[in-house]
Amino acid sequence: MKNAPAVAGLLLAAGAGRRMGTPKALVRDASGVPWAVRTARLLTWAGCAPVVVVVGADAFRARAALAAEPVEVVEATDWSEGMGASLRAGLTHLTSSGADAVVVVPVDVPGLTVAAIERITSEVGPEALRRATYDGAPGHPVVIGRAHWDGVIASARGDEGARAYLREHRAAQVECGDVADGADVDTPADLPPGHR
């Protein structure tokens, strides 16, 4: 019997959250849990291992918030460049893991669910390239098979992350609008009720 592919989780939580007024990793949900902790737990509950969290802005407080979680914390010292820096740092860290693929999520999608992560990782392997869509619009999570890691590391720049790579390599689209809300939150006005 063939073993299931090993899928790592990669949480991008390094940004300063300038429009939010605080790093989004530290924004708290309605129950008082920081977004970085909540999202890392979703990845763990969905079966991802290891779960890597990339921090940057206010790294000390972000690390402290994650201290009790079963995650590997990586600091992107060039986090101010944008999401591309976080993605490169996380994928580079994962190259020494045994993962066949990684599911990537940014910290600012509070409507993410375990169901969406499980759906996007239902068909994975080293060649996988999959992207969640919400009513046909591309979003997160994204699955990147190990065969694509070097290409993504080489091309991820600024706030584009892997967007151009996914488009160029025709990532499979996986509709998740029935199991999650894929909206990213950039300002306090965008926050769901009860978040602070």
Question: What per-residue confidence (pLDDT) applies to 94?
Answer: 96
Q: Where are the beta strands (DSSP E) in 7-114?
A: 7-13, 51-55, 72-75, 101-106
Domains parsed from the chain with CATH numbers = 7-180 (3.90.550.10)
Predicted confidence (pLDDT) per residue in 20-69, tens digit: 778 888 888 888 999 999 999 999 999 999 999 999 989 999 999 999 99
- Would you say 104 and 182 are in contact if contact means Cβ atoms under 8 Å apart? no
Average pLDDT, the chain: 90
Q: Residue 3's pLDDT band (boundaries 50, 70, 90)?
A: low
Q: How far is CA 91 from CA 121, 191, 192, in A?
A: 17, 29, 30
The rounded distance, in Å, linking the Cα atoms of 35 and 19 is: 16
Percent with pLDDT over 70 in the chain: 93
The rounded distance, in Å, linking the Cα atoms of 5 and 102 is: 10
Q: Residue 2's pLDDT band (boundaries 50, 70, 90)?
A: very low
- Long-range Cβ pairs for the range 90-98 (8 Å, 24+): 90/10, 90/12, 90/52, 90/54, 91/10, 91/144, 91/149, 91/152, 91/153, 92/153, 93/52, 94/8, 94/10, 94/50, 94/52, 94/149, 95/149, 97/6, 97/8, 97/50, 98/6
Q: What is the largest CA-CA distance in the chain?
A: 51
Predicted confidence (pLDDT) per residue in 116-145, tens digit: 999 999 989 999 999 999 999 999 999 999
Q: Does the model's pTM come out above 0.85?
A: yes
Q: In this structure, what token pair is assigned to residue 22?
A: 């605080």
